[in-house]
């Protein structure tokens, strides 16, 4: 007999679609360009100090304490390119990049993450990704560097360098994890406004 009840696997895409559609319908693209304020960091230099990086960036972006955040280490024009048709569709309405990018994921418990999260003014946010490429490269995800899915979401064709910062509340610090990954963003008028995955 089939199990009845909620299906957690469908919850995340539904929430992401709802957020993207809400953003697309209520605010100007400039006002909701969240992806650049919270996830882009092209100035990042490849090193082994990911924990310090995360703590600094999360504070600077004022999202310190967020459990996890990923920073993408690529120019923003690469993200914009995903929204313009150079991304791979992910049902129901997301786009994944077709190339890999360096990224750092900050989790809240080590030095790199703590520094980045504090620098960005987002210290305490549990999970925050940072993208390490110039803004025009990220913008390209919306202009041919990504594949449109539905509702303004695009998957990049390229892989981006990112840093994911994960927050550890008991010790009030971030752990940074460097990654290279395709990204999914919400685009408005050809520009990325929200990093979905």
Q: Are 68 and 174 contacting, i.e. CB atoms less than 8 angstroms apart?
A: no
> What is residue 52's predicted lDDT score, i.e. its pLDDT?
78
| pLDDT higher at 108 or 167 | 167
pLDDT > 60? residue 32: no
| pLDDT higher at 185 or 124 | 185
Domains delineated in the chain: 11-195 (3.10.130.10)
Q: Single out the residue of 91, 76, 68, 97 nearest to residue 192, CA to CA.
A: 76
Query: In angstroms, how far is CA 144 from the centroid of its own chain?
Result: 19
pLDDT tens, residue by residue, 56-86 = 877 887 877 777 777 777 776 676 667 666 6
Please state, in angstroms and rounded to a whole number, the distance separating the CA atoms of residues 190 and 81: 9
Q: Quick one: pLDDT band at residue 153, thresholds 50, 70, 90?
A: confident
């Amino acid at each position: 007999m089939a199990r009845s009840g909620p299906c957690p696997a469908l919850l995340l895409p539904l929430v992401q679609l709802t957020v993207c559609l809400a953003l697309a319908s209520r605010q100007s693209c400039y006002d909701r360009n969240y992806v650049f304020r919270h996830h882009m960091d092209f100035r990042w230099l490849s090193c082994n100090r990911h924990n310090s990086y995360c703590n600094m960036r999360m504070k600077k972006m004022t999202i310190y304490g967020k459990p996890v955040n990923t920073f993408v280490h690529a120019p923003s024009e690469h993200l914009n390119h995903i929204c313009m048709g150079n991304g791979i569709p992910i049902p129901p309405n997301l786009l994944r990049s077709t190339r890999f990018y360096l990224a750092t994921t900050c989790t809240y418990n080590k030095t790199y993450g703590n520094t980045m999260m504090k620098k960005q003014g987002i210290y305490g946010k549990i999970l925050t990704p940072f993208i390490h490429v110039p803004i025009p490269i990220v913008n390209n995800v919306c202009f041919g560097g990504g594949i449109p899915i539905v509702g303004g979401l695009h998957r990049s064709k390229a892989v981006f360098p990112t840093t994911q910062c994960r927050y550890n509340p008991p010790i009030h610090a971030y752990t940074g994890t460097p990654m290279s990954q395709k990204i999914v963003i919400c685009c408005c008028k050809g520009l990325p406004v929200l990093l979905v995955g």
